[in-house]
């Protein structure tokens, strides 16, 4: 197989130069290199430019309403934990209306990978500020600049006990593929926050901006098992921006909390012929 086997034939409508192209190619390459069967991969996408990921990758896919990627992805994984479940969300989708779901999926350690396409702007609705827009960022709906402090996805993830936390840059495909491969095979919940330039509506956080600042944590001696060091890296932003695995710690997953799942995935368990006995039990 090749990445061409993951093409759906749908016309791509992203803006030329969009950072989503890098993420799309990286996801295909990661699935291919891991040898994951397409019928055992499920992508869940929300509302935003990223939402077309389920149109452009030939695996199982479902496009859900704004902010609800994680509840749906959780339900899929609980129903059949033999599936590789990949959630896609934009920074508005994930850290706006979906922020409450994020904290709970993380602390439960549901074995799904959550890819956030973080372009720090609402691209689909033509350039409003998002929860991760940097303070002072000027748009047509915030002509005096953003007043609020931005959400910090990495710090939020660490505070929510996420067992695998990474940041990547859409302009470094090889590095992104390697981090995605680690996330897709992680035994627990993983966040991959991807710095994804929006060439149309974000003229601040550009490819050039990131190329001058990003550096790889694995080349700097960072210990991803050190929570204190990880939290310090979460707040490192400005002249230098760290990318790579920021924190990881193995712990029991949400699937292990359910004795029903010890018999195997719910999707493969036989249905009870009658619920009469169950009614008697709870009289």
What's the pLDDT tens digit per position in 260-269? 877 778 888 8
CATH 3.10.20.70 fits 3-281, yes or no: no
128: number of Cβ within 10 Å: 16
Q: Please indicate, yes or no, whether the overall pTM of this predicted structure exceeds 0.85.
A: yes
At residue 38, the pLDDT reads 95
Where residue 264 falls (left for φ over 0; alpha for ψ -120 to 50; beta otherwise) is left
pLDDT at 269: 83
Spatial contact of 201 and 126, defined as CB atoms under 8 Å apart: yes
Reading the block at residue 261, the tokens are 């799942």
Would you give per-residue pLDDT tens digits along the chain (283 residues)?
Answer: 899 999 999 999 999 999 999 999 999 999 999 999 999 999 999 999 999 999 999 999 999 999 999 999 999 999 998 999 999 999 999 999 999 999 999 999 999 999 999 999 999 999 999 999 999 999 988 999 999 999 999 999 999 999 999 999 999 999 999 999 999 999 999 999 999 999 999 999 999 999 999 999 999 999 999 999 999 999 999 999 999 999 999 999 999 888 887 777 888 888 766 777 778 888 7
**Is the Cα torsion angle 46, 151, 100, 179 positive or negative in sign?**
positive
**pLDDT for the residue 270:** 80
Q: Whose CA is closest to 195, among 130, 117, 96?
A: 117
How many other C-beta atoms are found inside a 10 Å radius of the C-beta of residue 281? 8
pLDDT value for 156: 97
How do residues 156-191 score in pLDDT, each as one tens digit? Answer: 999 999 999 999 999 999 999 999 999 999 999 999
pLDDT at 43: 98
- Other C-beta atoms within 10 Å of 168: how many? 29
């Amino acid at each position: 197989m090749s990445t061409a086997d993951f093409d759906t034939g749908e016309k791509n409508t992203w803006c030329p130069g969009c950072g989503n192209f890098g993420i799309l190619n990286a996801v295909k390459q990661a699935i291919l290199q891991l040898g994951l069967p397409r019928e055992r991969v499920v992508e869940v996408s929300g509302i935003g430019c990223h939402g077309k990921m389920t149109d452009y990758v030939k695996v199982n896919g479902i496009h859900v309403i704004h902010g609800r990627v994680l509840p749906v992805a959780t339900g899929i994984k609980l129903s059949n934990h033999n599936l590789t479940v990949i959630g896609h969300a934009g920074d508005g989708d994930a850290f706006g209306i979906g922020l409450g779901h994020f904290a709970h999926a993380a602390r439960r350690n549901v074995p799904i990978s959550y890819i956030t396409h973080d372009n720090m702007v609402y691209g689909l609705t033509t350039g409003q500020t998002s929860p991760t827009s940097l303070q002072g960022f000027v748009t047509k709906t915030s002509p005096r600049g953003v007043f609020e402090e931005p959400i910090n996805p990495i710090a939020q993830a660490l505070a929510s006990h996420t067992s695998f936390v990474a940041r990547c840059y859409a302009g470094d495909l090889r590095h992104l593929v390697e981090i995605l491969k680690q996330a897709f095979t992680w035994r627990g919940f993983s966040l991959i926050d991807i710095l994804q330039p929006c060439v149309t509506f974000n003229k601040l956080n550009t490819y050039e901006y990131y190329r001058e600042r990003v550096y790889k944590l694995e080349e700097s001696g960072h210990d991803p098992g050190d929570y204190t060091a990880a939290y310090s890296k979460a707040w490192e932003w400005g002249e230098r921006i760290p990318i790579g695995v920021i924190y990881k710690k193995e712990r029991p997953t949400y699937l292990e909390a359910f004795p029903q799942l010890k018999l195997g995935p719910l999707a493969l368990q036989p249905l009870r012929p009658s619920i009469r006995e169950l009614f008697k039990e709870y009289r």
